[in-house]
Amino acid sequence: MRSTGRKGNMDIQYIHGYDHSENIRLQDQASTLVDLLHSDTSYPAGSHVLEVGCGVGAQTITLAGNSPGAHITSIDISEISVAAAKEKIKEAGFTNVNFQQGDIFQLRFAPESFDHIFVCFVLEHLSQPVEAFCCLNRLIKVGGTITVIEGDHGSTYFYPDSEAAYKAIQCQVVLQRRAGCNANIGRELYPILNQVGFCSIHVSPRMVYVDSSKPSLVEGFTKNTFTAMIKGVRESSIEAGLIDAKTFDDGINGLYRTTETDGVFCYTFFKAVANKK
Ligand SMILES: C[S@@+](CC[C@H](N)C(=O)[O-])C[C@H]1O[C@@H](n2cnc3c(N)ncnc32)[C@H](O)[C@@H]1O
């Protein structure tokens, strides 16, 4: 859940950043959402799987554990993230993952090198998502699959309502849009995969519903994943003149208010699985 614009390697600007707090946020997000997002993904022994945009390995660890016999190759454009992911997988004792630094648009694998591709929270950061999927399509064997998971900030609603919270969330949507990216991309997975030429496309919305009877989601999702992400764009939103400091802070307080005893928070991820024709 964040943004990069792409106009060649050197121009990539990753709005969410590669800082320590963002890495912790990605870990919180991954561990909170493991069942919701991964329960129906496991690859057969012997199959070759490419994970694209692995970051610091927050999803890689689940992929590796759920598909112990698969040969997983995980790539990311950030060398630092790849190094962190490699370390994490080594510490966890998995031996079925190879890591490489690489750009989606310039991967050097031979055509049809992989049975399956897995992409999570990457598409929203790309200014050319259709081109990215054309590049990935070439790497999948005929009949193989692509699995894509993305969020959609437009799916956010909560109780008690807070106009300021919606304004703060919208700041991130606008900042991503200005960088050529799309925080509301979840709803576009079907049309994008269809446009690229994938077949048997199946998209399933995965709603995270949080109330105070689910304290681990209150902490892990509402506070440490979603609100932390919105808080991360405070300075850039104010600097860009999208919002004033008071309204932004009221918005963050509004999000925290949904974590109290009577509060409710909802967000929907979209998971698509499709076949290469
Ligand atoms: C929000 S992170 C998601 C990381 C991981 N998939 C997860 O769910 O925790 C997005 C990742 O995409 C990577 N990325 C962005 N543009 C890329 C590109 N053109 N090629 C490869 N990776 C890219 C970033 O470096 C970042 O690690």
| Nearest residue by C-alpha to atom 26 in ligand 1 | 55
| Nearest residue by C-alpha to atom 4 in ligand 1 | 55
Q: Residue 16: which pLDDT band, with cuts at 50, 70 and 90?
A: low
User: Is 260's pLDDT higher than 80?
Assistant: yes
- Residue 267 φ then ψ, to 5°: -150, 145
31-63 pLDDT, tens digit each: 789 999 999 999 999 999 999 999 999 999 999
Q: Is the CB of 120 under 6 A from ligand 1?
A: yes
User: Is 242's pLDDT higher than 70?
Assistant: yes
Q: Give residue 11's pLDDT.
A: 34
Q: Residue 14: which pLDDT band, with cuts at 50, 70 and 90?
A: very low
Tell me the pLDDT of the chain averaged across its residues.
Answer: 93
Tell me which long-range contacts 244-248 makes (C-beta under 8 A, separation of at least 24): 247/164, 247/167, 247/168, 248/164, 248/167, 248/168, 248/171
Q: Is the CB of 171 under 6 A from ligand 1?
A: no
Q: Is the CB of 170 under 6 A from ligand 1?
A: no
Distance 55 CA to ligand 1 centre (A): 5
Q: Is the CB of 131 under 6 A from ligand 1?
A: no
Q: Is the CB of 225 under 6 A from ligand 1?
A: no
User: Is 77's pLDDT higher than 50?
Assistant: yes
- Residue 14 φ then ψ, to 5°: -95, 100
Test site for ligand 1: of 77, 149, 176, most ligand atoms within 8 A of the Cβ: 77
160-205 pLDDT, tens digit each: 999 999 999 999 999 999 999 999 999 999 999 999 999 999 999 9
Task: Please report how many Cα atoms fall inside a 13 Å half-sphere around the Cα of residue 142, on the Cβ side.
Answer: 1
Report the atom number in ligand 1 closest to the C-alpha of 29.
9
Q: Give residue 32's pLDDT.
A: 83
Q: How far apart are CA 147 and CA 195, in angstroms?
A: 16
Q: Give residue 27's pLDDT.
A: 74
* Percent of all residues in the chain with a pLDDT value above 70, rounded to a whole number: 94
